[in-house]
Amino acid sequence: MIDALGFYHPCEFGIKSMSNETEELLKEFCDETTMLIGELDTILVELEADVAKLDKFDHFGQVIDRIRGSARSFNAAEICSFCELGKIIGIKAAQVKDEKLLQVVVAVLFDAVYILEKMVKHLRTGDRNVLQGMNTQAFITRLKWLSEKFKSVDISNNLCASQKEKELSQASIDDIMKSLGF
């Protein structure tokens, strides 16, 4: 059986527990993700001091994409989608010139990192229903507002057109939010 986070539950198929190897890999994933979350926090603190450092938004997108890739290997669909959303926000923010909007982006990304950290803590303890137990309404409201603001943001030409359309389209933000129940 696959749960809300997209995890396979071996008990549903007569397997009583994860193998030691799987448990160790999950622990390594959580440890590495926790370290990367620390890196994301550092990037956001730097951005909070100076939102004009647009390359830091790209760096944020790259770091959170590393978490997304690892989450995908565990079939952790909700964490993967959440990280994809953070990646898109980071990359789109790097194209914005409005410093007031960028300050809001930094605040939203701080919230996103906090929620991601909680998701990883729940994963570490075996609780797979992390988003259901969290009050995310304020975050969702800010995310929807930000999504509206990003509709007018053009993506730079450093990505090929098909990749631009696929990865960074406004529809992809909306689709990811919908897949997360936002």
Q: CA-to-CA distance for 180 and 43, rounded, in angstroms? A: 25
Ranking 39-53, 124-138, 159-173 by mean pLDDT, the lowest is 159-173
Q: Which residues contact 10 (CB under 8 A, 6 or more apart)?
A: 16, 17, 18
Q: 176 pLDDT band (50/70/90 cuts)?
A: low
| Mean pLDDT of all residues belonging to the chain | 78
Whether 102 and 93 have beta carbons less than 8 Å apart is answered as yes
pLDDT of residue 164: 46
The answer on pLDDT for 110 being more than 90 is: yes
Q: Residue 35: what pLDDT? A: 97
On whether the pTM is more than 0.85, the answer is no
Whether the per-residue pLDDT at 108 is higher than 50: the answer is yes
Q: What phi, psi does 8 have (nearest 5°)? A: -80, 130
